[in-house]
Amino acid sequence: MDIIYNFMFFLLNLIKGVVGGYALAIIALTALIRVVLWPLNTAQTRSMKKMQELQPKIKALQDRYKGDPQKMQEQLMKFYSENKFNPLAGCLPMLVQLPIFIGLYGMLVSPDFLAAAGTERFFFIDNLSHTLYSHAGEPMDQRFSIESKDQFVTAKHVTVVRKSGTVVDYPVRDVKKVLQIEPQPLVPGEPMTISLNPQYLGSEGFSESFVQDIAEASMVVVNESTKELERMTFAPAQASGATAESPNAPSWMLSSTIPTEKGELGIHWGVLYLILIYALVTVLYQKVMQKGAAPMEGPQAQMMKLMPLMFVGFLIFFPIPAGVILYLVVTMLLMFVQTAWVRWIDEREENAKSGKKPPANQVVDVKPEA
């Protein structure tokens, strides 16, 4: 998954260099992915349409043989074969796409992306790192707005300055375990000491020589609860005097102390507008998917009706950054457009075959009455 993550981040930065901003780059990258996956998505759309058309007959078979599961399975397999329908055909394209979308999503919520694009404004979105509501303060102001139970993660890379003056970038093997936060629980308004564990840095890992050769290290630290980010500089604990402030930190750890303040909960209206747009496009997508299909009944119908509410609830109650919601809105909008287009093309071909409509360029000869 890291390969997909790194490739997506590289591609996003490449597109950003052309379009001039990360918000536009998210839109362009999402559109590019949808174009590349167009054949798979089209196959999935047609499979779902076929499933809707056959659903009444499938339900009739299930009701008829509900007392004999083995017979029901045999009849369903025979029915699928006669109608040249594979019930897994709609799932396979989704499974192929899943790693791509997981990698893209992981990149958009990562500290690396938030550090690069978090302060960017786009139309009514004040900040691509904003969640719907949070107690986040201003990013990159060298002060965290916190609550007592906040959790912190780091970017996937740390910049290390060796005592010789050489600057080296190292990967972080575990973005959560690499940090040690004190005090616990946190006290808003009191300084917070963050210690960096070198054994999770780079391929070398922890060794006395590795630590002794470090003059300082810098990296982005993100409040996982609010997506607020700050760039922090860490120094060896003994040299910086952080051992006294953080007595539980081993002497070989790198430490930094940062002021904090009590976070005030606020709503970011631009994110709410994005969520409402997403809900609207989702409803439109469902309508175009169900167009011409037999009405669904039972638990499946209820699930289809509740699905938009479930997704909107997820976006409301979980701290999802605006950049991710923008990606979801564009994805859903393009799914709606593609589905409407495929349905229109298929209906046009079906009508032409059945003779319901004359071809667009056909000239109809009408004889005048005598």
Task: Convert the pLDDT of each residue in 343-352 to its tens digit.
Answer: 787 777 777 7
- Comparing CA positions, the residue from 241, 189, 238, 184 lying closest to residue 214 is 238
**Does the structure show a pLDDT above 80 at 179?**
yes
Task: Give phi and psi for 133, each to the nearest 5.
Answer: -140, 140
Q: What is the percent of the chain with per-residue pLDDT over 70, rounded to a whole number?
A: 81
Q: How far is CA 85 from CA 48, 50, 109, 361, in A?
A: 10, 8, 39, 34
Of residues 30 and 6, the one with the higher pLDDT is 30
The most distant pair of C-alpha atoms in the chain lies apart, rounded to whole Å, by: 111
* Whole-number pLDDT of residue 345: 78
- Comparing CA positions, the residue from 258, 327, 331, 335 lying closest to residue 113 is 327
**DSSP designation for 173:** S
Question: In this predicted structure, which of 4-13, 43-52, 61-70, 184-193 has the lowest mean pLDDT?
Answer: 43-52
As a whole number of angstroms, the distance between CA 153 and CA 84 comes to 51
Long-range contacts of 167-176 (CB under 8 A, 24+ apart): 170/201, 170/202, 171/201, 171/202, 171/203, 172/200, 172/201, 172/219, 173/200, 173/201, 173/205, 174/200, 175/111, 176/151
As a whole number of angstroms, the distance between CA 284 and CA 294 comes to 18
**Does the structure show a pLDDT above 70 at 355?**
no
**DSSP designation for 228:** -
Q: Are 85 and 119 in contact (CB under 8 A)?
A: no
**Pairing, β 254-258 against β 144-146:** unpaired
* Whole-number pLDDT of residue 205: 55
Of residues 79 and 327, the one with the higher pLDDT is 327
* Whole-number pLDDT of residue 299: 56
* Whole-number pLDDT of residue 241: 42
Task: Convert the pLDDT of each residue in 121-150 to its tens digit.
Answer: 788 888 887 888 888 888 888 899 999 889
**Does the structure show a pLDDT above 80 at 330?**
yes
**Partners of 158 in the beta sheet?**
170
